[in-house]
Chain A
Amino acid sequence: MAHFAEIVFIALMLSSTYILIAVGFTLFFGAIDIVQFAHGDVAMLGAFVAIILYGLAEATGMTRVLPMVVWVAGVIFFTLIITGALGVLFERVVVKPFRKAPLLMVLVATVALGIIIRESVRLFYPEGSNPQVFPKLFPQASFQVGSLYFRAEHLMIFGISLLLIVGMMVFINKTKIGLAIRAISQNIEAASLMGINPDVTIMITFFAGSLLAGIAGVLTGTYFNVVKFDIGLMGGIKGFSAAVVGGLGNFNGAILGGLTLGVVETFASAYIPGGTAYKDVYAFIIVIFFLVFKPSGLLGERVYDKV
C-alpha cells in the first residue's frame, strides 16, 4: 500500500498546519478565556510578510550573495518576529479593551478585525485580490524511498512544524515564562499576587501564538505555491475547530484535534468517491458532532457553570 503511506504523509502535513494555528487558539483561550477569530488571518499575514521579505532579500541581492540556508533562515526568522509582533498589536488594540465586557463584544470585534486584515491585503497589497505566487524557499528536489516519492519541500514543512510544536511545548512546560503563562491561565488574580505581570504575560502569549500562525501561513504557501488574501478565513475556522475538537485550552488537545481534522479531510478526499468537493463538509460535521456530544473536546476538562 504505497499509496496509503503517501496519503498518511499528506494528512500529517495538513494536520501540522492546523495544529500550528490551533495552538494559538488554545494558548489565548487558556490565558484570558477569549477566542481571537482573526487568528487565521494572522496566519495569512505571515505568508504575505514572508513574500515581502523574500522580495526585499532579492532586491538587495542577498539571495545571490548569501548561501540559501542563511537567507531562508533570515526570511523565516523575521517573518516569525513580525507576525508575532502584529499579533501583540492586535491584542492591544482589539482584545484588551473588551476584557471586562460581555463576550459578545470581543467575539464581534475580532471577527471585524479579521475582515480588516483580509480586506487590507486585498485592497492595499499590489494585485492583492489575485492569488500571489509564493517564493520557493526550500530545495525543489524529490527522492524515492522504496516505491514512495517524497518531495524535499514537504519533508521540510513537516520537519519545521514538528520542531516548532515541540519547541512550543518545551517553552510552555519547562521555562519560567511558560510557567507564568500557565499560572495566569489558572487564575489571573492569584498569579499577579505571585509577582507575575499579567499584561506582559498576555502579550508574550499572543506573541508566541501569532508566531506559530505566521509559520503556518508560510508552510501553507510553500505547499500550495500560491496564497490568497482569503485563505485565513477557512484556515482560522479549521484551526479553531481543531482546538475545540481537542479541548480548547489544552495544548495536547490542539495537537490531537489538528490530527483528527487533517486525517478526516485527507482520507475523505482520497477514499470517498467525489469526496474532494465535500471534504470541508465532513470536517465540519465532525466538529459539530464534538461540540454537541463532547463540548469539552477530546482532552479538555468538563467545565461546570457557576453562578
Chain B
Amino acid sequence: MKKGPAGLLLLLFLESLFFALVLVFLVVEEIIPILAVILGTVVLSFVLVKYERLNAFLQDLFSHYRKTAVAWGLIFVLALPFILHDSPYLIHLLFLSGLFAVLAIGLDFQVGSTHLVNFATAADYGVGAYTAALLAVNFGWSFWIILPLSGLAAALFGFLLGLPTMKTKTYYLSLVTIAVGLIIYLLLNNLSWTGGSDGIAGIPYPTIGGFSLGNSVRLFGMELPFQANFYYLVLGILFLEFVVARRLYQSKIGLAWNAIRDDEIAAACQGIDVTGSKIMAFYTNAFFDGLAGAIYAFNVGFIAPENFAFMLSVIVVTMVIIGGMGNVTGVIFGAVIMTLIPEKFQVVQSYRLWLFALIIIIMLLARPKGLFPQKTRQYA
C-alpha cells in the first residue's frame, strides 16, 4: 500500500468512528444501543478473522501510519476526562478499567505468553494495597515513595510465590496459586495488624507539592473532577506497563515465553532458561499488580480483605481470555469492556459473575483465542 492522503484520512476516520462508538457506549444508558455496540464488536471480530484480506489491509494501514494512529489514540484517551467532565462517575469507571487493564496485562505475561494459569492476582494486588495502606496510615509516608515500594513488595512476594511454583506444572501450578491466594486472604482476615476483616481505613489522598489529588482541577477553563487525577495516574502506569509488555514480547524473553508455552521440553533443549523465564513472568506481573493495588488503596481510602478475594483473580483471567491472550491491545480492550459492561447493566448487576462465567465458556468453545488473538510472529 502506498502512503497518501486517502489512506491517512481513512485511518483517521476509522479510528474516530471507533472512539465515537466508545463514547456512545460510555454515555448512553439505554440497553438497546449498548447491546448493539457489543454485538457489533463481536461481529467485527468474526469478520476480521473470516476475511483475511480485510484484516491484512487494516493492519497494513495501521502499520503504515503507526505514529499518527497512536498519537490520535493518545489524544482521545487524554481528552476523555474533558469530554466527560460533568460525570465524575464515568471517569471513575474509566479509572477502574485502567486499573483492571494493568492487572490483566500483568497476568497476560503468564497466561497469554506462557500458558501459566496464575490465580494469585488478587494476592499480588492485595500485598501491594496493604503495603501501601500500612505505610501510609502508620508512618504517613508520601504516596510517591510508597508507590514503588508497594510494587517492589508485591514483586518480592511474586518471586517468593514463583520459587515453589516453578517445581509444579499445569493443574498443580494453578492449585498452588489458588492455595496461596486463599492463604493471603485468610491471613488478611485474621491477622490483627492488618485490621482483620475490618480492613484499614483513613488512607489519605496523594499530594504533589501540596496539591492533593483529592481536589478537582481547573484546566483550559474546565472543572475536572478529582477522579480525573487518578485516571491520569493509572494511565501513566498503564502506559509504562504497555511499553514494558511490548518490549518484552518483542525481545528474546517474549520469544522464550512463547517457546515454553508451545513445548517446555523443546524450549529447554534449545537452551532456554525455563525456570528463570517463568519466574520473571511471575515477578513482573506481581510488580504491576502491586502498583495497581497501591493506587487503588489511595483512591478509595479504605481497603478490606473482601477486595482481594479469589473471584477477583478469576475476573482478571476472564479479561485476558476475552481480549485475546498474548495481544496487549486486545487484553486492554477485554479489561475495559469487562469493567464497563456490568456497570452499564445495573439491572443485571447481581448476574455479573454468572454472565462472566457463561461468556468465558462460550468464548472458549467458539473463539478459543479471544476476540483479538495474538498475531503470528513475523520476521522481516
Q: Which residues of A contact B (CB under 8 A)?
A: 35, 94, 97-98, 101-105, 107-109, 111-116, 119-120, 123, 233, 237, 240-241, 244, 248, 277-278, 280-281, 284-285, 287-288, 291-292, 295, 305-307
Is the Cβ of B360 less than 8 Å from the Cβ of A288?
no
Known: A94-B361, A284-B179, A291-B164. A305 touches B265 (CB 8 A): yes
State in angstroms the CA–CA spacing of A280 and B361 once bound together: 30
Identify which of B176, B314, B351, B368 contacts A291 (C-beta below 8 A).
B176
Report if B353 contacts A (CB, 8 A).
yes
- Bound-state Cα–Cα, A222 to B365, Å: 38
Give Cα A273–Cα B353 distance, bound, in whole angstroms.
37
The contact string, 1 if C-beta is below 8 Å from chain A, for chain B 160-196, is: 0000100110111011101110110011001000000
Report whether B354 and A116 are in contact in the complex, using a CB–CB cutoff of 8 Å: yes
Minimum Cβ distance to chain A for residue B149 (Å): 26
Roughly how many angstroms separate A115 CA and B364 CA in the complex, as a whole number? 15
Contact A104 B117, beta carbon cutoff 8 Å? yes
Report how far A19 CA is from B25 CA in the complex, Å.
50
Instruction: Write the nearest CB–CB distance from A230 to chain B, whole angstroms.
Output: 10
The answer to whether B115 and A307 have CB atoms under 8 Å apart is: no
Q: Which of B187, B190, B264, B361 makes the CB contact (< 8 A) with A113?
A: B361
Distance in Å: Cβ of A107 to nearest Cβ of chain B: 6
| B contacts, CB < 8 Å to A | 111, 115, 117, 164, 167-168, 170-172, 174-176, 178-180, 182-183, 186-187, 190, 263-266, 269, 310-311, 314, 317-318, 321, 350-351, 353-354, 356-358, 360-361, 364-365, 368
Q: Are B368 and A119 in contact (CB under 8 A)?
A: no
Please pick, from A111, A288, A307, the residue contacting B176 in the complex, using a CB distance under 8 A: A288
CB neighbours (8 Å) of B111 from chain A are 104
> What are 15 A-B residue pairs whose CB atoms fall within 8 Å in the complex?
A105-B364, A105-B368, A109-B364, A115-B353, A116-B361, A119-B351, A240-B175, A280-B182, A285-B183, A287-B179, A288-B164, A292-B164, A295-B167, A305-B264, A307-B263
Instruction: Tell which of A101, A123, A233, A241 touches B351, judged by Cβ atoms closer than 8 Å.
Output: A123
Min CB–CB distance B356 → chain A (angstroms): 7
User: Is A281 touching B186 in the complex (CB atoms < 8 A)?
Assistant: yes
Inter-chain pairs besides A115-B357, A244-B175, A287-B175, 19 sampled, C-beta below 8 Å: A101-B368, A103-B171, A108-B360, A108-B364, A112-B358, A112-B360, A115-B356, A116-B358, A120-B354, A123-B350, A123-B354, A241-B179, A280-B186, A281-B187, A288-B176, A291-B175, A291-B176, A305-B264, A307-B263
Bound-complex Cα distance A212 to B88 (A)? 52
**A108 near B176: Cβ-Cβ < 8 Å:** no
**Do B317 and A291 have beta carbons less than 8 Å apart?**
no
Would A291 and B172 count as touching, CB distance under 8 A? Answer: yes
- A243 CB, min distance to chain B CBs, angstroms: 10
Q: Chain A nearest CB: distance from B181 CB in Å?
A: 10
Question: For the complex, what is the distance from the CA of A104 to the CA of B115, rounded to whole Å?
Answer: 7
Is B172's CB under 8 angstroms from A107's CB?
Answer: no
Q: B312 to nearest A CB, angstroms?
A: 13
CB of A296, distance to nearest CB on chain B (Å)? 10
B368 touches A113 (CB 8 A): no
Closest to A101 in B: B368
Contact call B179/A107, Cβ cutoff below 8 A: no
Which residues from B are CB-within-8-Å of A277? 186, 190
B284: min CB distance to chain A, Å:
19
Taking CB atoms, residues of chain A closer than 8 Å to B321 are: 108
Nearest CB to that of B361 among chain A residues?
A: A112
Instruction: Determine whether the beta carbon of B172 is less than 8 Å from that of A108.
Output: no
Also in contact, A284 and B183, with CB within 8 A (given A277-B190, A291-B168) = yes
Closest Cβ–Cβ distance, residue A78 to chain B (whole Å): 27
Indicate if the CB atoms of B361 and A109 lie closer than 8 Å. Answer: yes
Measured between beta carbons, the chain A residues less than 8 angstroms from B172 are: 244, 291, 295
- Chain B residue at smallest Cβ distance from A116: B357
Q: Which of A104, A107, A113 contacts B357 (CB 8 A)?
A: A113
- Closest chain-A Cβ to B161's Cβ sits at a distance in Å of 10
Bound CA span A124–B340, Å: 25
